[in-house]
Amino acid sequence: MARTTVHRVQVEFGDCDPAQIAFYPNFFRWFDASALNFFRKCGVPPWRETEKTTGLIGTPIVEVGCTFLRPTTYGDLLEVRTWIEEWREKSFVMKHALMRGGEKLAEAREVRVFATRHPDDPARIKAVPVPAEIRERCE
């Protein structure tokens, strides 16, 4: 089984639409926060530090999908379980399961890359091979 981390979320009133159901973009916000939490719990330094030492600025998403299974509403306490399902040369597949108790509310799949600033234009980014030391920390 892949290393899995848990990020806890409380659904707030402002996360919900007029029907009192959490508005779907918030799921992606919670998944993104859980992705950062995953790397922190694996001992990866903050991206602003890795940029100074290795040039890595983060792990932008290049593909994302989500299956919404059940609704959630304000006051609910949720867990986002996050793990890396697959490592590739310059990308990886990260999975998230949004849970309320033992009930799965949503599952998401992200393809992310490790990125540095492009050497010819620092306003652009460039995918780089998965750093071995980060992969080792996250397995």
Rounded Cα–Cα distance for residues 118 and 111 (Å): 20
Q: What span, in angstroms and rounded, lies between the C-alpha atoms of 87 and 47? A: 19
* Measured distance CA(73)–CA(51) in Å, rounded: 38
Burial class (CB in 10 A: 0-12, 13-18, 19+), 9: buried
pTM: 0.93
* Torsion of the alpha carbons at 93, 99, 102 and 106, rounded to the nearest 10: -70
Per-residue pLDDT of the chain (139 residues; tens, 9 = 90+): 689 999 999 999 999 999 999 999 999 999 999 999 999 999 999 999 999 999 999 999 999 999 999 999 999 999 999 999 999 999 999 999 999 999 999 999 999 999 999 999 989 999 999 999 999 999 9
pLDDT of residue 1: 63
**Under 8 Å between Cβ of 98 and 107:** yes
**CA 29 to CA 78: how far, in whole Å?**
13
Is 4-138 a domain of CATH 3.40.1790.10? no
Catalytic residues: 17
